[in-house]
Structure 1
Amino acid sequence: MTAEPPEIGIIDYEGAQQAAVLGMTDLIVFAERRAREKAKSEQPLLRLSHWRLVGGETGEPARIFDTAPTSPGRPTFLLVPPGLGAPLPQEMTARYAQWLRVQHSEGTALGSVCNGAFLLGETGLLSRRKVTTHWTYEEPFLSRFPEVELDTDRLIVDDGDIVTAGGIMAWIDLCLKLIDRFLGPTIMVETARTFLVDPPGREQSYYSAFAPKLNHGDAAILKVQHWLQATEGKQMSLAALAAQAGLQERTFIRRFQKATGLTTGDYIQRLRVNKARELLQFTKASVDQVAWEVGYTDPSAFRKIFGRIVGLTPQEYRQRFAV
């Protein structure tokens, strides 16, 4: 008896980005065909399906597209693509979420791209798990799912049975990762080369600008944030920051971290690195000059901090993004 091939199912919910749904379909179908050619096999090596709610208000998701419609089987991996609009509201995700919980309990791995993570979040399966989504959704995601360990610097977080991807175009990276998982690295690299895309290895931190939290309601801290923005983070003195807020230093430290989610040092480093990104992209200044311009007297310290926050050296960043 021939073993059933693993199946990747894409949740084609109302509002799903069709470029992602169809693009992932093309990548996976191509990779599976290439794998069969290399293996000289007539049997499918990977099954792809699309799923959507059917049967009215009480129905469950069912296959609406299937590359192996005569096979029984069940999905090995279910993937929630990004949506073009706002994240799905809770009332729209409930039926999908309940079904996904059942599938996961029976051994199916789950994944999401960009704001598709909101649907996964409604399953309750992300509690105390490391995940990612698009960096612009960080605040609403944590507000809705405060128990999740969110890391928006990562483009992909692969936790085995839960795999999440950050950017709206990160479906390419996630798809290649799944091709690697089910068909092997050789087929993954051949697919990436054919479609002229980079194999997985990028990070969201390469692209995400620092967007400080400003809607926390602490007027004293907001005043300091505005001041830091105006001075581009060049003021590092804790005494000066506390004086600007009109607070004692210990009180200021506690309230600043509570309001922004960052220590003052980390906040200022991110402001400086944000300015450095801009200079590296749009000027011809040397890396040492950029370091000095954004407030660092030690260029080597600047390089270390830039690399920690962005994930690339300043020179690598310039090579990728200079205009």
Structure 2
Amino acid sequence: MAAVRNPVEIGLVVYPGVQEAAVLGLTDLFQLANRLAAERSPDALRLRVSHWQLEDASRTVIRTFDSESGDSEPSAGNEPAMVILPPTLGDPIAREAAAPYAGWLRACHATGATLGSVCAGAFVLAESGLLSGRVATTHWAYRDALAIRFPDILLDAGKLVIDDGDIITAGGYMAWTDLGLKLVDRVLGPTVMMDTARFMLVDPPGREQRFYSPFAPRLNHRDEAILKVQHWLQARGARDVTLATMAEHAGLEERTFLRRFRNATGLKPTEYCQHLRVGKAREMLEATTRSIDQIAWDVGYDDPGSFRKVFARITGLVPGDYRRRFGLERAALPGGGS
């Protein structure tokens, strides 16, 4: 008779402002994975799901729910093997509120726990100092706030999930499904992960946040000359512009303009214009039935092939695939190929 293996505990942190739907959704996802794994093999490894919360009296983080006991009797004990910081629907957690969790997260990590965050849960994780010098992601709407508060993080908000071994970060609100499935894959294997994804009717991990995030230019940099050019580019859709005309509009010498533009916006002028044009193209692909060649021309590209390459580099999808995923018309459209 095979020996019974101890379950792998995944702890969900219920911090102030946490999205409770994600906490409950992850709980259900892991318990569903257990059931599907058991259907394939009665001796399959099992996931133990727990919730962890700050106890006001002791100011320590304790287990407040345990799927193994089936009740919500608070208990202390060994740290979980994996810890997830779910998203929040509000503002990122304040530093003071996150501080008690930071020490606990460091202790979990020191015992070998894998840590994960979703969306603004990255702010809680970052307070531990464990993201310093590490590659991480968060929801695109929180990108600048996280970068300002923790400038030593190597932030890549274009990715929906970044698996950096002992630390996994995920982007958007619903990316808890991606993170959850990734952990199922690690513990129970790819077959059970795919079974779980199919049962839940969600895509398995592999999406990218840039499929969904619109271009959000930096406008609060206080460089009035560059802001003037940004407004001018927005008004004309970045069509028929050159470095010389942009510098002239800013009233700056070209080299000075290049340096100040990149410092203010984080992009070269050419890259910035490409993002504006692709943003307009995304709107047309979503809301019209114009051919992709026509859209390329409308947003300022004489060569549709060049447009397709730029669009794919920025969004992660070729125009035809983008239209099929996000367009109002799901059926094949004239000129809607890749």
The two structures have a TM-score, normalised by structure 2, of 0.92
User: Which residue of structure 2 lines up, in the alignment, with residue 232 of structure 1?
Assistant: 237
SS at match of 1:85: coil
User: Deviation digits for residues 40-65 of structure 1, max 9, x if unmatched?
Assistant: 13x86211111001152x42111111
The offset of 1:5, in angstroms, is 2.1
User: Which residue of structure 2 lines up, in the alignment, with residue 303 of structure 1?
Assistant: 308
User: Which residue of structure 1 lines up, in the alignment, with residue 90 of structure 2?
Assistant: 85
Which of residues 252, 258, 271 is equivalent to 2:263? 258
User: Which residue of structure 1 lines up, in the alignment, with residue 162 of structure 2?
Assistant: 157
User: Which residue of structure 2 lines up, in the alignment, with residue 129 of structure 1?
Assistant: 134
How far, CA to CA, are the matches of 2:61 and 2:128 in structure 1? 15
User: Which residue of structure 1 lines up, in the alignment, with residue 60 of structure 2?
Assistant: 60
Name stretches of at least 5 consecutive residues in structure 1 with no aligned partner: none
Task: Give the letter aligned to residue 29 of structure 1.
Answer: Q
Equivalence map 1:155-304=2 (5 Å): 155-304=160-309
Task: Give the letter aligned to residue 27 of structure 2.
Answer: T
User: Which residue of structure 1 lines up, in the alignment, with residue 113 of structure 2?
Assistant: 108
CA contact (8 A) 2:210 2:314 kept: yes
User: Which residue of structure 2 lines up, in the alignment, with residue 75 of structure 1?
Assistant: 80
How far, CA to CA, are the matches of 2:217 and 2:108 in structure 1? 38
CA contact (8 A) 1:7 1:77 kept: yes
User: Which residue of structure 2 lines up, in the alignment, with residue 51 of structure 1?
Assistant: 52
Which of residues 40, 43, 56 is equivalent to 2:42? 40
CA contact (8 A) 1:4 1:73 kept: no
CA contact (8 A) 2:226 2:250 kept: yes
CA contact (8 A) 2:45 2:188 kept: no
The offset of 1:36, in angstroms, is 2.0
Task: Give the letter aligned to residue 53 of structure 1.
Answer: L
User: Deviation digits for residues 265-306 of structure 1, max 9, x if unmatched?
Assistant: 111100000000001111111111111111111111110110
The offset of 1:73, in angstroms, is 5.0
Name stretches of at least 5 consecutive residues in structure 2 with no aligned partner: 329-338
How far, CA to CA, are the matches of 2:271 and 2:11 in structure 1? 41
SS at match of 2:120: helix
The offset of 1:158, in angstroms, is 0.6
CA contact (8 A) 2:16 2:97 kept: no
The offset of 1:236, in angstroms, is 3.2
Task: Give the letter aligned to residue 12 of structure 2.
Answer: I
CA contact (8 A) 1:236 1:265 kept: no
SS at match of 1:169: helix
The farther-off stretch of 63-72 and 9-18 is: 63-72
How far, CA to CA, are the matches of 1:266 and 1:14 in structure 2? 39
CA contact (8 A) 1:228 1:235 kept: no
SS at match of 2:237: coil
Task: Give the letter aligned to residue 294 of structure 1.
Answer: V
How far, CA to CA, are the matches of 2:138 and 2:241 in structure 1? 31
In the TM superposition, structure 1's runs of 4+ consecutive aligned residues that sit over 6 Å from their partners are none
How far, CA to CA, are the matches of 1:105 and 1:73 in structure 2? 12
CA contact (8 A) 2:16 2:93 kept: no
User: Deviation digits for residues 222-262 of structure 1, max 9, x if unmatched?
Assistant: 00000000011113311100000000000000000000010
CA RMSD of aligned residues (A): 1.5
CA contact (8 A) 1:49 1:63 kept: yes
SS at match of 1:177: helix
**Aligned-pair identity (%):** 55
How far, CA to CA, are the matches of 2:192 and 2:108 in structure 1? 28
The offset of 1:68, in angstroms, is 2.1
User: Which residue of structure 2 lines up, in the alignment, with residue 139 of structure 1?
Assistant: 144
How far, CA to CA, are the matches of 2:221 and 2:231 in structure 1? 13
Q: How many residues align?
A: 321
CA contact (8 A) 2:54 2:60 kept: yes
User: Which residue of structure 1 lines up, in the alignment, with residue 336 of structure 2?
Assistant: none
Which of residues 26, 29, 33 is equivalent to 2:28? 26
